Amino acid sequence: MSPDAPSTDSTGAIDVARRNLLVHATTSVGVAGLGAACWPFIASWQPSEAARALGVPVEVDCSTIAPGQMRVVVWRRKPIYIVRRTAAMLALMGGHDAALKDPDSTDSQQPAYADNPLRSRAPSLFVAIGVCTHLGCIPRARFEVGGPHMGEQWPGGFLCPCHGSRYDLAGRVFKGSPAPTNLEIPPYSMAGPDQLVVG
Ligand code: FES
């Protein structure tokens, strides 16, 4: 008898129950085999532990950042600048809008709560992604006002060492810089008066 021929009992009648059992068994084995073959591909779609860790918010205790100082933390592999701005720093923020490319940050990226002249939730705490918007170098803090290197009109801010882009203490880029837009502000919230959560 051919393997495909319907099975018959001793009377020659087709054994329907046996045939259905064989069909179900064959189908089950096929599905299980397909699942085993696909598992490596399906597993590769799952986010890795490292990827999950990358998306985790970063908590920072800002109580130890002295006035006028900056701390740098890493979030999603990017440096996050946290500056405790002093009253003197803030007093210099409004005097140079005409020298900025995007003083109102209309072409720059920030969350809605940082869409204001100081680009922050609270005036004293400035949070920004420390990546130059030109070609991605890391700007350096230049908080000292004036001076021989930055010029007498320098109000304090950041200088990118790669091609000389300059930003003020709200991350707003000065005209004459190759960087097109202000420093990006990341999403962040405050879990307490000094408890910053980035991400
Ligand atoms: S990368 Fe900053 S000025 Fe070019």
**pLDDT for 77-88, tens place per residue?**
999 999 999 999
Instruction: Indicate the domain borders of the chain.
Output: 1-46, 53-198
Give the residue whose CA is nearest to atom 4 of ligand 1. Answer: 163
Q: What is the mean pLDDT of the chain?
A: 87
pLDDT value at residue 14: 60
Quote the Cα angle for 106-108-109, to 5°.
120
Which pLDDT score, from 0 to 100, does residue 165 have?
Answer: 98
Answer with the residue of higher pLDDT: 63 or 50. Answer: 63
Ligand 1 centroid from CA 25, angstroms: 66
The pLDDT score that the predictor gives to residue 43 is: 60
What is the Å distance from ligand 1's center to 126 Cα? 21
Q: Kindly state the average pLDDT of the residues 35-54.
A: 64
Tell me which residues have their CB closer than 6 angstroms to ligand 1. Answer: 132, 134-137, 160, 162-165, 178-179
Please report the atom of ligand 1 found closest to the CA of residue 136.
1
Domain 53-198: which CATH number of 3.40.50.300, 2.40.50.100, 2.102.10.10, 3.40.50.720: 2.102.10.10
Catalytic position from the list 24, 134, 149, 163: 163
**Per-residue pLDDT reduced to its tens digit, 7-22:** 555 555 566 666 676 6
The answer, yes or no, to whether residue 30 has pLDDT greater than 80, is: no
Residue from 158, 162, 167 to probe ligand 1 pocket by mutation (most atoms less than 8 Å from CB): 162
163 classed as catalytic: yes
Distances 130 to 19, 75, 80, 152 between C-alpha atoms, Å: 70, 11, 5, 25
DSSP string, 72-132: EEEETTEEEEEEE--HHHHHTTTS-GGGBSSTT-TTS---GGG-STT-SSBTTEEEEE---
Distance 136 CA to ligand 1 centre (A): 6
Alpha-carbon distance 183 to 168, whole Å? 10
- Look at ligand 1, atom 1, and give the residue with the nearest C-alpha: 135
Distances (CA, A) of 89 to 56, 66, 84, 115, 188: 32, 13, 10, 19, 22
Q: Lowest-confidence range among 43-52, 58-67, 83-92, 178-187?
A: 43-52
Atom 3 (ligand 1) nearest CA: 163
Question: Terminus-to-terminus CA distance in the chain, angstroms?
Answer: 70
156-172 burial: b if 16+ Cβ within 10 Å, else e = bbbbbeeeebbbbbbbb
Q: Could you tell me if residue 163 is left (phi over 0), alpha (psi between -120 and 50 degrees) or otherwise beta?
A: alpha
**Higher per-residue pLDDT: 14 or 48:** 48
Q: If you measure from the C-alpha of residue 163 to the centroid of ligand 1, how many angstroms do you get, rounded to a whole number?
A: 5
Residue 40 pLDDT exceeds 90: no
